[in-house]
Amino acid sequence: LKRIGFAEKYVTVGGANVYAVFPELKGKVLLSVLLLHGAAFSSETWQRIGTLQFLLKQNYFPIAVDLPGLGKSSKTPITDRNGFLSSLIKTLGIEKPVVISPSMSGRYSIPHFILHPNELSGYVPIAPVMDSTFSDQDFKKSNVSTLIIYGENDVGTLEKNKVLSAIPNSRVVMIPKAGHPCYLDDTPLFHKTLLDFLRSLK
């Protein structure tokens, strides 16, 4: 198997320098997968647990970014979170990615999911921070295929999952014995669950 390296670059979005890591790859891929992260983590987490390598091996095009103020990205505060991911996706030159969004990154992904659904091929919220400006009705209107993942021991997710489950084309998967960053507690099951979802997308 030919080893493909990962490249890194900075892109400017909303006045912030955003760090991104992605495969050095030419050729046909099935779908782009944009990996966000929680407050205590960064793009490096996805490299460390092998998610980028796993997705690439399955012929997907994974891109992990450091959100503004975290990791290797600049500390610039983002005033317009509602349009941030839309600008980021355009600037990265990817089309209709699947967005994976744990915890704090929900502040960016939920506005994007509600306001720009046609820019997504799928959505994977993992105990995301919820944006109170959107109602249950907003989630009910969505047509984006959604995989809701949470850890069994993450008690704070049950209320969130009630709201997220209003998304018509959604399903919920619980990772047994896992905590808030459930993808760290059982990475193989997380990867398998994610791959099944990606394969189900048209």
Active-site hit among 37, 154, 170, 185: 154
Active-site hit among 43, 103, 109, 145: 103
Dihedral pair phi/psi, residue 167, rounded to 5°: -65, 120
Give the closest residue to 169 by CA, choosing from 195, 197, 192, 188. 197
Is 186 marked active-site? Answer: no
Tokens coding 45? 């987490």
Give the closest residue to 127 by CA, choosing from 161, 152, 85, 94. 161
Is 154 marked active-site? Answer: yes
Looking at the DSSP bridge assignments, the partners of residue 101 are 125
Active-site hit among 42, 73, 170, 180: 180
Three-state DSSP state, 149 = strand
- Judged on CB neighbours under 10 Å (0-12, 13-18, 19+), 146 is buried
Question: In 71-87, which positions are buried (b, 16+ CB within 10 angstroms) versus exposed (e)?
Answer: bbbeeeebeebbbbbbe
Give the closest residue to 121 by CA, choosing from 96, 155, 156. 96
Is 180 marked active-site? Answer: yes
As annotated, the active-site residues are 103, 154, 180
